[in-house]
Amino acid sequence: MNHTQCLIIGSGPAGYTAAIYAARANMQPLLIDGPQQGGQLMITTEVENFPGYPDGVEPFQMMTDLRRQAERFGTQFIEGIVTKVDFSATPKKVWVEDSDEYTADTVIVATGASARFLGIESEQTYRGRGVSACATCDGFFYRNKTVAVVGGGDTACGEAEYLAGICQKVYLIVRKPYLRATDIMQKRVLNNPKIEVLFEHNTLRLTGENKVQGADLIFRKGEADEQLHHIDIDGFFLAIGHKPNTDLFKDYLELDSEGYIRVHGETPCTNIAGVYAAGDCADPRYRQAIVAAAAGCKAAMEADKYLKTLQNK
Ligand code: NAP
């Protein structure tokens, strides 16, 4: 039987920071990587907004540094995917790949969120070569270029506005004849001369040699006046929502209507004592590495406090 005082699920900035703090507090944490070691950040090109890297850093390097820092204080890592949990009693139980069972006094859930993609083949072909799901992360690489953002919600409008501050031109590809975003966000987008909103458009495919150079769109798909047309673009940003990776926990943890783990106020505490949520799995608002790292720190500190109350019982 593998038992730990603190088991961390997820290897993004939240998970690794939780591990650094938990290890330094002598909790001998066990961190289970999950499907993508390093988390969502690994799909971006370069990290330029994480404090401490004045020249920017490659995501692989940054996540390797965080991992080494966690390892230095004694974190143990398990490569694998958590497939089942049981938080009904203490110790909590976690299964990796359905077979290996781990028990833990405290669990920190740092499973992140996944950007939704359209599901077209070319989107995967150009991933990291013009396709991005984070304007804040990758927008800078499209300075004075032309990009498209897909989506009609607040995220898409926010990303379009952000990119308009950097790029020469931004297309906003919206599948409906209207935007879903709040009035203020709509106004900003519609009044921005650099943004052209393409209502009732869907993306058929991306085109280009080795990187995105264009997109084939369809206007009013299935209608009598359906039309195909092409736009030249250098970048293609998805902003059609994120899905928190929390399905595994829905029988135990309170989730909001979108699936984000509910935490108490500014803390990472969930509805179950000894179980904490940190990073994008519990953060529909900021979704930034630095915010996730801070939440990981808080989660480890809460776990330590909880363990001490258990030990004093
Ligand atoms: P959202 O409100 O769910 O909007 C998603 C958008 O993507 C919708 O316009 C949707 O189109 C479109 N979409 C979904 N699937 C698509 C597909 N397959 N092809 C083309 N378009 C597709 O998501 P969000 O914008 O990420 O916002 C999520 C929540 O966070 C919202 O409650 C939002 O208000 C909030 N938020 C707030 C702020 C802020 O306060 N500043 C910033 C960002 C987000 P349809 O409209 O046709 O469904």
Spell out a b/e string for 111-137, using b for 16 or more CB atoms within 10 Å of the CB, else e.
bbbbbeebeeebbeebeeebbbbbbbb
Superfamily of domain 2-114+242-311: FAD/NAD(P)-binding domain (3.50.50.60)
Give the Å distance between the CA of 241 and the centre of ligand 1: 5
Question: Domain extents for the chain?
Answer: 2-114+242-311, 117-238
The whole-number pLDDT of residue 129 equals 93
- Peptide bond before residue 59 is cis, with ω within 30 degrees of 0: no
**What confidence tens digit (pLDDT) does each residue in 74-122 have?**
999 999 999 999 999 999 999 999 889 999 999 999 999 998 999 999 9
The whole-number pLDDT of residue 260 equals 97
Closest ligand 1 atom number to CA of residue 284: 30
Q: Whose CA is nearest to atom 36 of ligand 1?
A: 154
CATH topology match: 2-114+242-311 vs 117-238: yes
The whole-number pLDDT of residue 1 equals 62
- In this predicted structure, the answer to whether residue 45 has a pLDDT above a threshold of 80 is no
Q: Which residues line ligand 1 (CB under 6 A)?
A: 118, 150-156, 158, 175-176, 180, 240-241, 284
Q: H or E stretch including 220?
A: none
Closest ligand 1 atom number to CA of residue 119: 18
Contact 117, 133 (CB under 8 A): yes
| C-alpha distance from residue 177 to each of 152, 202, 236, 285 (Å) | 10, 11, 21, 26
The whole-number pLDDT of residue 137 equals 83
Joined together, the tokens standing for residue 223 give 């209608």
The whole-number pLDDT of residue 192 equals 98
Rounded Cα–Cα distance for residues 113 and 104 (Å) = 24
To test the pocket of ligand 1, the residue of 155, 182, 189, 197 to mutate (highest count of ligand atoms within 8 Å of its CB) is 155
Joined together, the tokens standing for residue 122 give 């070319």
- In this predicted structure, the answer to whether residue 181 has a pLDDT above a threshold of 90 is yes
**What confidence tens digit (pLDDT) does each residue in 112-126 have?**
999 899 999 999 999
Looking at the annotation, which residues are catalytic? Answer: 134, 137-138
Q: What is the CATH number of domain 117-238?
A: 3.50.50.60
The whole-number pLDDT of residue 313 equals 73
Mean pLDDT in residue range 166-182: 97
Mean pLDDT in residue range 284-290: 90
> Nearest to residue 242, comparing CAs of 123, 116, 112, 120?
116
Provide the percentage of residues in the chain whose pLDDT is more than 90.
87
More confident residue, 228 or 40: 228
**What confidence tens digit (pLDDT) does each residue in 30-44 have?**
999 999 899 988 866
The whole-number pLDDT of residue 126 equals 94
**What confidence tens digit (pLDDT) does each residue in 128-159 have?**
899 998 898 899 999 999 999 999 998 899 99
Tell me whether residue 9 is exposed, middle or buried, using C-beta atoms within 10 angstroms of its C-beta: 0 to 12, 13 to 18, 19 or more.
buried
The whole-number pLDDT of residue 47 equals 84
Instruction: Calculate the average pLDDT of the chain.
Output: 95
- In this predicted structure, the answer to whether residue 262 has a pLDDT above a threshold of 90 is yes
Mean pLDDT in residue range 202-207: 98
Joined together, the tokens standing for residue 49 give 């907004």
